[in-house]
Chains A and B, each alone.
Chain A
């Protein structure tokens, strides 16, 4: 079955620390990959997306993610986090040809200590 796994449920970091959130997907064939962020009390917003091409994708607010096909992974990174990055982060995947089946991971809550 298709699935997206986020193994870190809650990550706590200090400001300026580096961040890496794990995401693994289980899909056959070509996939689209996304990272969304949800700030407290708000709706989901797209951070970045991968459809094809360069496997290192840069998004908004200094975030980037690397698609490693051999590992079925799409980890999110940021070299130096800020307190304002406190949020929940969702990895998501869809089959290249299907709009209907975006599967979301269960989310990783990120808490940044000032």
Chain B
């Protein structure tokens, strides 16, 4: 398995609070991604990064922000959590070539009450 960890693995938070999820990789891969997984929707891209300090929006970016200050870390922040953001969040990485497959982390289950 690719060296990807996510923290925390589980979190319960209240509506309106900020939440930060962390993705850490040991593969020195250029590209990093945040997805959310919801029943009936598959995986949807939230944000991605193509290098340190280089990020862009994905399909469902509203209410989320990201930062990447180091190659190995990609942070996802829910600025003010809402119940619609209850989901499982997966981080993924991919290598030097854009068409390479993505490798996924173990996921973070977030519940917003």
Residues of A at the B interface (CB closer than 8 Å) are 4, 6, 9, 32, 34, 36, 42-46, 49, 51, 90, 94, 96-102, 104-107
The SS class assigned to the A binding surface is: loop
24 CB < 8 A contacts A-B: A9-B40, A32-B99, A42-B106, A43-B90, A43-B105, A44-B43, A46-B101, A49-B101, A51-B99, A94-B99, A96-B99, A98-B98, A99-B98, A100-B31, A100-B45, A100-B48, A100-B56, A100-B58, A101-B45, A102-B45, A104-B35, A104-B42, A106-B41, A107-B42
Which B residues lie within 8 Å of A9 (CB)? 40
Give the interface centre of A46, A96, A106 by most chain B CB atoms within 10 Å: A106
CA distance in complex: A101, B31 (Å) = 12
Minimum C-beta distance from B66 to chain A (A): 13
Do the beta carbons of B104 and A44 come within 8 Å of each other? yes
Q: Are B50 and A99 in contact (CB under 8 A)?
A: yes
Residues in A whose Cβ lies below 8 Å from that of B44:
104
On whether the beta carbons of B107 and A105 are closer than 8 Å, the reply is no
- A106 CB to closest chain B CB, in angstroms? 4
CA distance A110 to B94 in the complex (A): 27
A100 to B33, CA, bound (A): 8
- Going nearest first, the 7 A-B pairs with the smallest beta carbon separation are A99-B98, A104-B42, A104-B43, A106-B42, A43-B104, A44-B104, A46-B101
Q: Quick one: closest A residue to B91, CB to CB? A: A43
Decide if A105 touches B105 in the complex (CB within 8 Å): no
Asked if B102 is at the interface (CB within 8 A of a chain A CB), the reply is yes
Which residue from chain A places its CB closest to the CB of B38 in the assembled complex? Answer: A106
Residues of B within 8 A of A100 (CB): 31, 33, 45, 48, 50, 56, 58
